[in-house]
Structure 1
Amino acid sequence: MTILVTAASGQLGRLVVDALLARGVAPAELVATARDTAKLADASSRGVRTAELDYDRPETIAAALDGVDAVLLISGDAPGSRAQGHRNVIDAAKAAGVAKLVYTSVPQATTAEFVLAPDHKATEEAIAASGVPAVIARHNWYTENYGTAVARAAETGVIAGSAGDGLVASATRADLAAGLAALLTEDGHLGEVYDFTGDQAWSFEELAAAASEITGREVVYTPLTADEHVAALESAGLDAGTAGFVAGIDDGIRRGVLAGASDTLARLIGRPTTSLVDGLRAAV
């Protein structure tokens, strides 16, 4: 069976290639793809076949999928404008007769009012309409996303945000990659929608406590209103649109979009997921 990984030059995609090799997939049975194949030198050096695949250039997708049995479609990195690129991959997978498509979505993609949801909702709907055999892995937030906040807290003693009492069931990229490798290599799973989360959801007070343990100084969580959060982000140099987007993520967290912890990922990888403290310590 030949497995293709899209966006294999990215932080998650590289780890998926590592996880597939660790599960015993032969390098010759892997295809690592990216817009720029020069960024795939590490995979190539291990005998993994590489190919150009640009979500916005369908001709590259069709060529890369020739002879491929399973595809991991890692969501694009431009929120708000990535659905068409995803549809291009789905259409090519259907035309190539791909037997399994795995897609990285977000929690409550089809039901939640969440700033990240629209692209994923459109993609999940396109997958369903295509008839391509598929598995949806709805990824919670990356634990590593808070590495910068912890590093900053080492200087300021503060983690600020507008998530209120919201919880986050984050997981590390490595754990998520291991789960995706399981979906790609194991029989079954077709038609399933899985929540990929850490074993336990945490609050921002717990994030501050983890930062205290890692940095060796007292760190407190300072809750902000949405307007205060946007103003703080703009004063830090973000443009208004980006500041509103970041605050919108905290709004979704406050409303519980990322709160649901599941044991699905732990069961797939055969061990507990990495704790918040350990994941952040590695990221920092």
Structure 2
Amino acid sequence: MTILVTAATGQLGRLVVESLLERVPATEVAVAVRDPEKAADLAALGVDVRQADYSEPETLRTALTGVDRVLLISGTDMGARVEQHRAVIEAAKQAGVGLLAYTSIFGGDDTTFALADDHHATEALLRASGVPYALLRNAWYTEVYTAQLGTYLQFGAVTGSSGDGRVASAARRDYAEAAAVVLTTEGHRNAVYELSGDTAWSFSELAAEIAAQSGKPVVHHDVPFEEHVQIMVGAGLPEPVARMFADVDAGIGRGELAGTPGELSRLIGRRTTPLADSVKQALAAAPTAG
């Protein structure tokens, strides 16, 4: 059996490959990457490195030849990624792939913020393709927030526009492990998994956790939508991107990322990584910020 991971040199992709290598021999793992040189370390481990680009369908057809199972990690090229995903799905169908797992969005069609639209479209393409699929509907990675630790400490605030909304996030490694489980075990044909952390936390709780562990004052600063957009624009984000992120906050305020069905912990066979542990790891990785 050959299992192929797309976007394998990205943050999630590398963790998925690491988890796969704990479960199956390297000779059963392949990766599709735009720049094979960035995967030289994986090749040294015995992983089959194949060049492919979501925007070049012919490279996808070659990369997926002889592959049994595929993890399609969603692209990051907003405005183009539905067509890119279509190309992967079509290549998978042509190759006779037995299972295509896709990293979608928590809540599926019930998730209303604009960032979810491409995921909705990709899920529809998958269902219509006839390719056996597994939808890995990932909630937020805790790292989305801990990566901003320096900013939180610099300004003494976690700023957003989600009100009292809660986020059931989990560590990126938790989601990677779940993907590896789906790719290496049976019983996942046409399955839909709502994957989130075991505990939903508020931004006030995030601020309090950072303050407690860093010993520095940090509070939650909630602002109106438009003010949030302008804060992000002032920090250097293009306005359309700032509006997209503020729109996600609005969705959080509506409770769209707060669900805790427990499917992620059931798949990986353990509790998901607690928020406190993720904050601790982030502070350890950036000791000058703590």
TM-score (norm 2): 0.95
Specify the SS of the correspondent of 2:152: helix
1:12 aligned partner: 12
Distance 1:42 1:263 in 2: 34
Sequence identity (%): 49
Q: Does 1:178 align with 2:177?
A: yes
Q: CA deviation at 1:262?
A: 2.2
1:233 aligned partner: 232
Q: CA deviation at 1:90?
A: 0.5
1:164 aligned partner: 163
Q: Assess if the C-alpha contact under 8 Å between 1:115 and 1:252 holds in 2.
A: no
Q: Assess if the C-alpha contact under 8 Å between 2:70 and 2:101 holds in 1.
A: yes
Q: CA deviation at 1:127?
A: 0.4
1:64 aligned partner: 63
Q: Assess if the C-alpha contact under 8 Å between 1:171 and 1:198 holds in 2.
A: yes
Distance 1:163 1:79 in 2: 23
Q: Assess if the C-alpha contact under 8 Å between 1:81 and 1:119 holds in 2.
A: no
Q: Which amino acid aligns with 2:64?
A: L
Q: Which amino acid aligns with 2:278?
A: G
The unaligned stretches of length 5 or more in structure 2 are: 284-290
Bigger mean CA deviation after superposition, 63-72 or 204-213: 204-213
Q: Assess if the C-alpha contact under 8 Å between 1:198 and 1:274 holds in 2.
A: yes
Q: CA deviation at 1:101?
A: 0.6
How big is each residue's C-alpha offset from its partner over 1:105-144, in whole Å with a ceiling of 9 and x where there is no partner? 0012323321211110110000000011110000101100
1:219 aligned partner: 218
Q: Assess if the C-alpha contact under 8 Å between 2:55 and 2:84 holds in 1.
A: yes
1:3 aligned partner: 3
1:35 aligned partner: 34
Bigger mean CA deviation after superposition, 228-237 or 9-18: 228-237
2:288 aligned partner: none
1:87 aligned partner: 86
Bigger mean CA deviation after superposition, 65-74 or 188-197: 188-197
Q: Does 1:127 align with 2:144?
A: no
Q: How does 1:99-114 map to 2 (within 5 A)?
A: 99-114=98-113
TM-score (norm 1): 0.97
How big is each residue's C-alpha offset from its partner over 1:65-107, in whole Å with a ceiling of 9 and x where there is no partner? 1111000000001233200000100011111110011000001
How big is each residue's C-alpha offset from its partner over 1:214-262, in whole Å with a ceiling of 9 and x where there is no partner? 3222211011000110111122222211211111111111111111112
- Runs of 4+ residues deviating >6 angstroms: none
How big is each residue's C-alpha offset from its partner over 1:161-202, in whole Å with a ceiling of 9 and x where there is no partner? 001111111111111000000000110011111011111111
2:21 aligned partner: 21
Q: How does 1:253-272 map to 2 (within 5 A)?
A: 253-272=252-271
Q: Assess if the C-alpha contact under 8 Å between 2:106 and 2:196 holds in 1.
A: no
Q: Assess if the C-alpha contact under 8 Å between 2:149 and 2:282 holds in 1.
A: no
Q: Does 1:140 align with 2:139?
A: yes
